[in-house]
Structure 1
Amino acid sequence: MNIVFMGTPEFAVPSLDMLIAEGYNVVGVVTQPDKPQGRKKVLTPTPVKAAAERHGLPVFQPVKLRAPEAVARLAEWKPDLIVTAAFGQILPKAVLDMPVRGCVNVHGSLLPKYRGGAPIQRSIINGESVTGVTLMFMAEGLDTGDMISRVEVAITDEDTSGSMFVKLSEAGSKLLQEEMPRLVAGETTAVPQDEAEASYARNLTRDDEKMDWNRTSRELFNHIRGLVPFSGAFTMWDDQVFKVWAAANPEQADVLASSDAGQAEPGTVLQLGKNGIEVRTGDGSLWLTEVQPAGKKVMQAADFARGGTLKPGMVLQ
């Protein structure tokens, strides 16, 4: 049986590695085009491309998979089954109809909740305590296909999007491994999603990264964790971007809150010290523990506080 794998980020690599380790006949890998990375804009392969080359597999990187020439190129591999995991492009009907065993997707949420491109980040930002992975048949809609199986994974207060990507990628690989014998044999069963329970996790934008100090301390804490280690959250200080990479859990912080917290407007710096930077929120305060001033590297907030440029009473916007 010919299997084509489609994926792009690190999230997809464990599933590809599993298919190879289990001896399945992966005839080719489809991933996004290489992109410039870092300040020097070095053209860098996707994690899935790097994994495919490590396994000696042919790689196809179409700009648009729906282009007729891309569909024709894919058809040359004569796939009986297509497996996708965070590929990053919508599969056109011509591709969905190509393999006799269908197209299956490893999706990082408990469908039908959090359909779309940023389910892991938005689960954390929204304060979910549980998420998971769904293995599903693909359909023309966005993550609307019938569900084959699901597994739950807890989100702890120590988790960030980065740690959850690792946990869910491993859970997804195991879920796929368990189902592969039935997929190959054409014996897989699936159930439709309940549209009444559907929600969407649209891709994050720059606006999603900006902190709103009128929100509760808990909401801001979740917001920061949901953007690590990718973009980071940010606020404005002295008309410049001031990034926030970590904060103390507001329910567990054993630091004495400032007595001025109740009188200050949200965003006001209340105090600075060895514990970091305390900032007024909509319902109390939040201690920032890792920050990145404009033009600087990420640093401990306590180290930045010793510089003396940020002072109590200043307001973050």
Structure 2
Amino acid sequence: MGTADFAVPALRAVSRSCDVVLVVTQPDRPRGRGQQLGPSPVAEEARALGLAVAKPVDVNEPEWRERLAGLGLDLVAVVAYGAILAPELLGVPRLGCVNLHGSLLPDYRGASPVQRALWDGRIGTGATTLWMDEGIDTGDCILQRWVGIEPADNAGTLSARLAEVGGPLLAETLLLAHAGKAPRRPQERDAGSYARKLKKSDGSVDWALDAVHVWCRQRAVTPWPGATAGFRGRRLLLTETRPLHRLKVDEPPGTVLAVSPEGVAVACEPGALMVTRLKPEGRNEMDAAEWARGARLEPGEALEAEKEAHA
């Protein structure tokens, strides 16, 4: 069971190692600029692999539970499905349900583990497989792999790397579970943390933070909801940045300190952030230096918090 891009490498890996009798995914949704109805990434991959696909509106409905029970399932693998499974559904497969989660549990249980690891400035995260129970990512852990976070990572690139690591990890887990050899490592319920889902407002850049925190948060909200600031009443989407230093500066937070071929240096509190790539409102992404030349940006001007720019 899966829906998002994160689940696609897992489906590929599992289909090579196990007998997949059915792929369950979310119904078709409006997608892309035209908002035309289209299948989920998992549905597209399942069709390409020649696998049977089901798209229930509510997989917890009794009719779907009965249909799945009629398949005589040994195991159910769940990856980024997009819905909480009822306890009655968890009890359908003979051996249980296994989940692939994008963090080193018990850290970052919940909906946004990849984003929160970046937000908090972690140097590493990982993937965990676990037996599912009635809680949110609280089941006994099975296998785990650590993955380093690179300075150039954002939520999109890190999620893709975790997915590639997680796919084979899930396939290995299912083979162990089927053979009765998958371990059960209980989590400490009071340990770890919860990764709440990002809100659109999380993307508004807060220049009053130090440069490293602003950088970490910019990467965490890229590609969604995007790190946004205002300039001359228009929105700027900051797509690539890096800390320049953490020294105290005299200028107020958000002030443009310098424009160079590297990009645009902006005051934080303390420190300075180098903006290297951005997307002006209504235009394509470009180098920040190129944008600055076209905008005739001068030191002393301000990149505002978005809510101020649109007040």
TM over 0.5: yes
The CA deviation at 1:232 is 2.0
Distance change >3 Å, CA 66–CA 311, structure 1 → 2: farther
- For the aligned residue pairs, the C-alpha RMSD in angstroms reads 1.9
Once the two structures are superposed, what CA deviation does each residue of 1:162-208 show, in whole Å capped at 9, x if it has no partner?
22222211221222233332211233220110123221111111111
| Aligned: 1:128 with 2:122 | yes
Once the two structures are superposed, what CA deviation does each residue of 1:191-229 show, in whole Å capped at 9, x if it has no partner?
110123221111111111111101111111111112223
Residue 34 of structure 1: which of 28, 44, 47 is its match? 28
Question: Counterpart of 1:106?
Answer: 100
Matched AA of 1:85: V
Question: Counterpart of 1:8?
Answer: 3
- Asked whether the equivalents of residues 34 and 46 of structure 1 are also in contact (C-alpha less than 8 Å), the reply is yes
Match of 1:264, SS?
coil
The CA deviation at 1:149 is 1.6
Structure 2 residue ranges without an equivalent (≥5): 306-311
| Aligned: 1:299 with 2:299 | no
My pick for the range that moved more, 109-118 or 227-236, is 227-236
Distance change >3 Å, CA 77–CA 236, structure 1 → 2: farther
Distance change >3 Å, CA 139–CA 38, structure 1 → 2: same
For residues 180 and 288 of structure 2, the distance between their equivalents in structure 1, rounded to whole angstroms, comes to: 55
Question: Counterpart of 1:117?
Answer: 111
Residue 165 of structure 2: which of 167, 171, 188 is its match? 171
| Aligned: 1:208 with 2:202 | yes
| Aligned: 1:142 with 2:119 | no
Question: Counterpart of 1:268?
Answer: 255
The CA deviation at 1:63 is 2.7
- Asked whether the equivalents of residues 29 and 60 of structure 1 are also in contact (C-alpha less than 8 Å), the reply is yes
Question: Counterpart of 1:18?
Answer: 13
Match of 2:190, SS?
helix
Count of aligned pairs between the two proteins = 304
Matched AA of 1:278: A
Once the two structures are superposed, what CA deviation does each residue of 1:252-291 show, in whole Å capped at 9, x if it has no partner?
9xxxx9xxx7221101122223221111101111111111
- Sequence identity, in percent? 38
The CA deviation at 1:249 is 4.0
- Asked whether the equivalents of residues 146 and 190 of structure 1 are also in contact (C-alpha less than 8 Å), the reply is yes
Question: Counterpart of 2:51?
Answer: 57
Once the two structures are superposed, what CA deviation does each residue of 1:284-310 show, in whole Å capped at 9, x if it has no partner?
111111111211111111110011354
- Asked whether the equivalents of residues 69 and 93 of structure 2 are also in contact (C-alpha less than 8 Å), the reply is no
Structure 1 residue ranges without an equivalent (≥5): 1-5
For residues 71 and 242 of structure 1, the distance between their equivalents in structure 2, rounded to whole angstroms, comes to: 47
- Asked whether the equivalents of residues 273 and 306 of structure 1 are also in contact (C-alpha less than 8 Å), the reply is no
Segments of 4+ moved more than 4 angstroms: none
The CA deviation at 1:251 is 5.7
For residues 131 and 86 of structure 2, the distance between their equivalents in structure 1, rounded to whole angstroms, comes to: 14
Question: Counterpart of 2:39?
Answer: 45
Residue 270 of structure 2: which of 278, 283, 291 is its match? 283
- Asked whether the equivalents of residues 278 and 285 of structure 1 are also in contact (C-alpha less than 8 Å), the reply is yes
Distance change >3 Å, CA 287–CA 138, structure 1 → 2: same
Give the TM-score normalised by the residue count of structure 2.
Answer: 0.91
Question: Counterpart of 2:308?
Answer: none
- Asked whether the equivalents of residues 256 and 265 of structure 2 are also in contact (C-alpha less than 8 Å), the reply is yes
Question: Counterpart of 1:3?
Answer: none
The CA deviation at 1:243 is 0.9
Match of 1:212, SS?
coil
| Aligned: 1:199 with 2:205 | no
Question: Counterpart of 2:300?
Answer: 313
Matched AA of 2:164: E
Residue 235 of structure 2: which of 236, 241, 244 is its match? 241
For residues 308 and 52 of structure 1, the distance between their equivalents in structure 2, rounded to whole angstroms, comes to: 47
Question: Counterpart of 1:181?
Answer: 175
- Asked whether the equivalents of residues 74 and 94 of structure 2 are also in contact (C-alpha less than 8 Å), the reply is yes
Question: Counterpart of 2:82?
Answer: 88
Match of 1:69, SS?
helix
Residue 151 of structure 2: which of 133, 141, 157 is its match? 157
Match of 1:17, SS?
helix
Matched AA of 1:100: R
Give the TM-score normalised by the residue count of structure 1.
Answer: 0.90
